[in-house]
Amino acid sequence: MKKIVLSALAAMTLGTVAANAVDLYQDANGQVFTSAAEGRTIIKDKSTSVFSKTDKLKFSGLTYIGGTYKDYDATTSTGSSGKADSAQFEIRRAYFQLKAYLLDDAKSYYRVTFDVHQDADTTDGDMVLRAKYAYLYLNNVLPFTGVEVGLVHRPWHDYEEHNAWCYRNISKVLTEQSNGAHLSNSADYGFNFKTKTKYFDSELGIFNGEGYHSTQNTSRGVSFEWRTTAHLLGVAGKDKQTSKTYWDASFFGQYNIGHKNVTVGSVTESQDLVFGGLHTVYNQPSFLVAAQYIYSDNTSDIANNISKQAGSGYSINSEYRFGTEKEYRVIARYDSWTTEKENSADEKENRTYIGGLAWDQNRNVQWVANLEMTDNEDGSSRETSNGMAYMLTAEVKF
């Protein structure tokens, strides 16, 4: 298997070099070089077995390698035992991505992204491969607007991860975080219209609603999802925080029809998932600060019942950057989420605190050392997760 992978990488490299009309040389051992020297002969036939029916292919990769020690509280407020402490090394994410530029428009392409993750549903915990994205992006189908069709981005997560909370390698955003709102994940089957102008951009789409790693329930409806963002200074961020000053304000959410079927006694009800959020982020090259508020509505009509994901919460995060190239970061974040209950006295706040240091070793490798404290209110259904996590992470991308 290792030889196959190395051969494929070598073939792709040779194909790229050949495409740029660079002379290749080979020594007596068969090793290939891009410069002439004694004992090397020029390779006249530069063709390889790697080919494509498109003019341009773009490969990239992203991996989060980590180690985490979790020190849980020994007991909960009710006296029951908390979770057992644990220590483990992790591959939190391993992306391999291909873009194929198929059309005359240079900004239209097909993208497929594969994601490696550990399968918790098996006893041996195998690392398995799944598709995260697989879509066709068509540029300018409407003025200033393109569309993704297939297994696509949902409107909110990608924006926040590239403009406000840039540390997905240690924690998901509030909307997805398991101790936070836990309302939605980042990809789904459907289509997503993406509009971009100097002072405004948006994403509006229709999706299955279950997300990319769940089976579609055909008895339920679709999910309408949106994000609208005002660039108040006329500048968009998108991964260039150390060289830009921008200030954004966003409104996002979704209306997921028939998200869950719930039975209480003899009554069965199809409950929608309806939530909306407000978010703002201000960035300068030396610092960033962002805040958001999310409200998830109760759509149940059954007496003495509340929709499972109804609730409200907020998140605040910031980072300070220093060094000659702003390569060092001090990061902090606070999440709060309260699940709605029939009796308001039963509502408990779930809280997460994150603090840490990050170092951009170069444009390909980032290191993050951080603490994550879970401090859920006494009596919360998530109280057994209370404690401290100590994390060390390497993000590798190319």
Question: pLDDT by residue (tens digit) across 98-157?
Answer: 999 999 999 999 999 999 887 766 667 788 889 999 999 999 999 999 999 999 999 999
Mean pLDDT over 238-249 rounds to 93
Look at residue 18 in the predicted model and tell me its pLDDT: 44
- Count Cβ atoms below 10 Å from residue 190 Cβ, excluding itself: 21
Task: Tell me which of 71-80, 157-166, 290-299, 322-331 is least confident.
Answer: 71-80
Look at residue 127 in the predicted model and tell me its pLDDT: 83
pLDDT of 50 strictly over 70: no
Residue in the structure block whose two tokens are 């981005």: 153
Task: Tell me which of 46-55, 289-298, 363-372 is least confident.
Answer: 46-55
Which CATH code is given to the segment(s) 58-397?
Answer: 2.40.160.10
| Per-residue pLDDT tens over the stretch 345-356 | 999 999 999 999
Considering the chain, tell me which residue range(s) the CATH 2.40.160.10 domain(s) occupy. Answer: 58-397
State the average pLDDT for the chain: 90
Look at residue 21 in the predicted model and tell me its pLDDT: 55
Give the predicted TM-score (pTM) of the model. 0.85
Look at residue 131 in the predicted model and tell me its pLDDT: 93
pLDDT of 38 strictly over 50: yes
| Per-residue pLDDT tens over the stretch 164-196 | 999 999 999 999 999 999 999 999 999 999 999
